[in-house]
Amino acid sequence: MYLSPAVRTMRDDPTDGIDAALVIRFDDEAAVDAVRDVVAAHGVVDRETRFGNLHVTVPEPGVADLLTDLPDEVSAVETRTAMADDPGHEG
C-alpha cells in the first residue's frame, strides 16, 4: 500500500491532540465495508467520494494502528486537502 510522505510522518511521529484528514483508496470496491469497519475502530468516515474513495478523520496517534488494520485491498492512504473537501472537487 502506498503511503504519502505526510502519512508516513504521522505514523512514525504522531502529534497528540491533532486529527489527521486522510483519503483511503482501494482497488476492490467490495472492500468498502471492511475499510469502513476498520476506520470506525480508529476514527470516523466523513464521506465516500463518487470514485469510491473514503475521506476519513483519525487522531494522529491512531494512524499507525489504522494502517496496520486496513485490509490488503487498500492501495493508498494520503492526506486530504482543503480542496478535496470542497463539494465541487473530487479527491
Query: Are the C-beta atoms of 80 and 23 separated by less than 8 Å?
Result: yes
User: Within a domain: residue 88?
Assistant: no
For residue 14, how far is the Cα from the chain centroid? 15
Residue 89 included in any domain: no
Q: By residue range, what is the domain housing residue 6?
A: 2-83
Is residue 14 in some structural domain? yes
Q: Report the CATH number at residue 65.
A: 3.30.70.80
User: Chain-centre distance of CA 39, in angstroms?
Assistant: 8
Q: What's the pLDDT tens digit per position in 48-89? A: 988 889 999 999 999 999 999 999 999 999 999 754 545 554
pLDDT digits (tens, 9 = 90+) for 18-37: 999 999 998 887 889 999 99
In a domain, 50, yes or no: yes
- Count: domains in the chain: 1
User: Is there a domain that residue 91 lies in?
Assistant: no
Residue 7: the pLDDT is 97
pLDDT band at 91 (very low <50, low <70, confident <90, very high): very low
User: What per-residue confidence (pLDDT) applies to 87?
Assistant: 53
